[in-house]
Amino acid sequence: MPPRDLARVLDALPDGAVVIDASGSVELLSAEASRILGLSRDAARGRAVERLAGADHAVARLARAALGGGGTSLESSCPVAQRFGPALVVEVGAAPLFDDTGALCGAVVTLRDRTLQQELSHAVSEREQLEAFGRIAAGIAHEVKNPLGGIRGAGELLALRAADGKTREAAELIVREADRISALVDDLMVFARGDALRLSPMNVHVVLDDVLDLLAHDPVGARCRVERRYDPSLPEIHADADRLVQAFLNLARNALQAMEERGGTLVIATRMTLGHRLAGNDGEPSPTLLIEFRDDGPGIDPDLLDRLGTPFLTTRPGGTGLGIALARHWIARHGGTLRLESEPGNGTIARVGLPLRRTSPRAAS
Ligand SMILES: Nc1ncnc2c1ncn2[C@@H]1O[C@H](COP(=O)(O)OP(=O)(O)O)[C@@H](O)[C@H]1O
Ligand SMILES: [Mg+2]
């Protein structure tokens, strides 16, 4: 067999490969590695490996270890920051290279994009979670809502017939609290009902402007600035504007609440991305609208971040802990996704992806 061009072989592999010489400079970057790292091959060639993804990144660390005689190593799920779009989850491996005499002459670093697998497993567990909420909500509605009507009626009657002020106050308290619980159950019922979406062609920027109008007079944002970074070339989508307002309002309000005390900037940014190839029904890249709500508030503790979206999980006095769960519910009904990213001290990003062509059967109702 004739020897083949090494670069072409590496380009054909589904994993990315970076070939490094003994001094730690990049000799060759395969097509997939160039995509993952967001670097052109020409820009990467001859550069120190530390400068590809940062000296602390697994790519540089494992390359150094391989060049230092550390043998072959593998590190799973390292985030690789992208200049555009969300960070990728990448499995990084490295192995030393030897010449004919057995002397170390470089290293090869491999990069495997695990983002899609992680997103799919997130999506499955989110869907299961939302379905479980639906069943719980339906159960609560049945067991709580009906007797609540009776309790409220009895409270009203007691208030009418109360002989003294104290009894009337107690009876009115029963009515007020019954109303509060009833409103909460109504919120929770959203998860149980399969309400059809009222889809119509709409511009997502109009929806975002509506949300900002609603928040303009809310004292929560008094110390905050709002910056709109809209991509004017975004196409219209078929969506239920009222439901999206509900979802976005929760995300924007959360951001403002996080900055309420110290002030800050809420950036709302939109753009188009191509969803992962396998995500579409037909194996084609699926165009996706990205809508980001970025704040520079205190951020979210990693422990809490993992559990967000569980109904009633709140750290705010007076919070219901339903905002993120409701937002996720309506976005999922549109076949979209909601991701929260946060670094304590560095603010939070709520990232919404809405497919231009809907593929989720849940959204079809
Ligand atoms: N942008 C944000 N910055 C910091 N913390 C946030 C942000 N968004 C949500 N959170 C945290 O997530 C919790 C749950 O949010 P949510 O589901 O909207 O319920 P609620 O706002 O009623 O507490 C909040 O109590 C808060 O601790
Ligand atoms: Mg909230």
Is the predicted pLDDT of residue 193 greater than 80, yes or no? no
254 alpha carbon – ligand 1 mean position (Å): 5
> What integer is the mean pLDDT of 84-96?
78
- CB neighbours of residue 215 within 10 Å: 19
Contact 182, 141 (CB under 8 A): no
Pairing of strands 88-98, 73-80: antiparallel
Is the predicted pLDDT of residue 365 greater than 50, yes or no? no
Is the predicted pLDDT of residue 165 greater than 80, yes or no? yes
Residues 6 or more apart from 197 whose CB is under 8 A from it? 239, 240, 243, 333, 334, 363, 365
261/296 Cα distance (integer angstroms): 12
Question: Can you give the pLDDT at residue 77?
Answer: 62
98/357 Cα distance (integer angstroms): 50
Is the predicted pLDDT of residue 84 greater than 80, yes or no? no
Q: Is 305 exposed, middle or buried (0-12, 13-18, 19+ CB in 10 A)?
A: middle
> What integer is the mean pLDDT of 57-68?
88
Least confident of 35-44, 116-125, 212-221, 287-296: 116-125
Least confident of 11-15, 144-148, 201-205, 349-353: 144-148
297/347 Cα distance (integer angstroms): 5
250 alpha carbon – ligand 2 mean position (Å): 5
Instruction: Supply the residue whose CA is at minimum distance from atom 2 of ligand 1.
Output: 255
Any residues with Cβ below 6 Å from ligand 1, and which? 250, 254-255, 258, 295, 297, 300, 308, 313-316, 319-325, 348
210/137 Cα distance (integer angstroms): 29
Q: What is the pLDDT of residues 220-243, one digit of tens each?
A: 999 999 999 999 999 999 999 999
Looking at the CA of 348, which ligand is closest? 1
Is the predicted pLDDT of residue 168 greater than 50, yes or no? yes
310 alpha carbon – ligand 2 mean position (Å): 12
Looking at the CA of 255, which ligand is closest? 1
Question: Can you give the pLDDT at residue 152?
Answer: 95
Is the predicted pLDDT of residue 281 greater than 80, yes or no? no
Is the predicted pLDDT of residue 52 greater than 90, yes or no? no
Contact 307, 326 (CB under 8 A): no
Enumerate domains of the chain plus CATH numbers. Answer: 6-113 (3.30.450.20), 118-193 (1.10.287), 200-364 (3.30.565.10)
Residue position matching structure tokens 């959203």:
190
Outline where DSSP puts E strands in the chain: 16-21, 26-29, 73-80, 88-98, 104-113, 200-202, 224-229, 237-239, 264-274, 287-295, 337-342, 348-355
Q: How many CA atoms within 13 Å lie on the side-chain side of 45?
A: 8
Least confident of 77-86, 121-130, 131-140: 77-86
Is the predicted pLDDT of residue 155 greater than 90, yes or no? yes
Q: Tell me what the pLDDT averaged over the chain comes to.
A: 86
Pocket test for ligand 1, best of 246, 254, 300 (most atoms within 8 A of CB): 254
CA distances from 201 to 198, 241, 262 (A): 10, 9, 39
- List the shell of residues around ion ligand 2, using CB closer than 5 Å: 254, 323
> What integer is the mean pLDDT of 72-82?
66
DSSP string, 172-239: HHHHHHHHHHHHHHHHHHHHH--PPP--EEE-HHHHHHHHHHHHHT-GGGTTEEEEEE--TTPPPEEE
> What integer is the mean pLDDT of 63-72?
85
Q: What is the pLDDT of residues 301-328, one digit of tens each?
A: 988 998 888 888 899 988 889 899 999 9
| Percent of the chain scoring above 70 in pLDDT | 90
315 alpha carbon – ligand 1 mean position (Å): 7
- CB neighbours of residue 121 within 10 Å: 10
Please give the angle made by the CA atoms of 352, 38 and 291, to the nearest 5 degrees.
Answer: 15
Q: In which order are the strands placed within the sheet that holds 73-80? A: 26-29, 16-21, 104-113, 88-98, 73-80
Of 301, 300, 320, 299, nearest to 311 by C-alpha is 320
